[in-house]
Amino acid sequence: MGDTTWFLVHEVRNSDLISQVFSHSLNVIYCLAFGLLALFVCWWMVRSSLNGLYISIANSIRNGAIELKAAEEMLYEEIHNTTVQQEMIKNEALTDGLTELKNRRAFDNDIEFLQQTNDLCIAMIDIDNFKTINDTYGHAVGDMVLRTVADIGLRLRGMDNITLHRYGGEEIVALFHGMTQHDALAFLERWRETCEQRHFRETNLRVTFSGGIATKDDMRVEEALVLADKRLYEAKRNGKNRIIDGAEAYA
């Protein structure tokens, strides 16, 4: 039995397949379009800034108001400041404004790099009963809950080999680089328990999340993400507030 190879075949309707391909293609097109726009804005800012500086320095040298060495120092400082501004714009474009996590665009940009490694665990988490929280307490409280869950995750992370992305809505993707699934589960469990034990001013507000985790191994990132997502919804069906890794549930 140990050498037996198993194949699982699942029939998908042609219309569903076309819909999925179209949806993913649109996401890629949107990301590429935004990336090109961001690059154009950065190029335009650098070009405008440096052109203005070149003209100013040239006029100052021509009029004797500035020495060549001072002009070189000014030019170096301006290039440095422009580089810093570019990096800030890039970081803002790849960061979710509400939670300060990396955003979906950053995740999509990282996929090609992530394809090159098998030493990766992927987890998908989803805040339980989030629609009910919004309907009961209002969207401002819903935003606060999202920020709180994200803040706890960032605080507990404490290492560079865990990255957290707001994937969409109340869903967060966690990437564990060079970590075993056991260690990744331990982190998720600490995160889940800390959120569950958090007290809020709002009466009867209790925040939990469910999650699913998968190891990439020889799969593509997209396949591992789909598997983690399936396990997430298995956790939802089994009562929520738990993590499922395919072997057992942690709750």
Tens digit of each residue's pLDDT (9 = 90 or more) over 7-24 = 444 454 555 545 654 555
- Residue type at 188 in one-letter notation: L
Q: What is the pTM of this model?
A: 0.67
- Tokens 């500086």, located at residue: 53
pLDDT for position 246:
76
Beta bridge partners, 171, equal 126, 168
214: DSSP letter: E
pLDDT for position 142:
97
**Residue 189 to residues 166, 185, 208, 213, 245: CA-CA distances in angstroms?**
19, 6, 11, 12, 12
- Residue type at 145 in one-letter notation: V
Q: Would you name the residues annotated as active-site residues?
A: 170
- Tokens 């999925």, located at residue: 20
pLDDT for position 1:
44
Spatial strand order in the sheet of 243-244:
162-168, 171-177, 120-127, 209-215, 243-244, 249-250
Contact (Cβ atoms closer than 8 angstroms) between residue 189 and residue 211: no
pLDDT for position 112:
82
pLDDT for position 218:
84
| Ordered per-residue pLDDT tens for the chain, 251 residues | 445 545 444 454 555 545 654 555 565 566 556 656 666 666 666 566 656 655 665 566 556 555 555 556 666 666 656 555 555 566 668 899 999 999 999 999 888 888 888 889 999 999 999 999 999 999 999 999 999 999 999 999 987 699 999 999 999 999 999 999 999 999 999 999 999 999 999 999 999 999 999 999 888 999 999 999 999 999 999 999 999 997 654 55
Contact (Cβ atoms closer than 8 angstroms) between residue 134 and residue 185: no
Minimal CA–CA distance to 213: which of 230, 190, 194?
230
pLDDT for position 156:
95
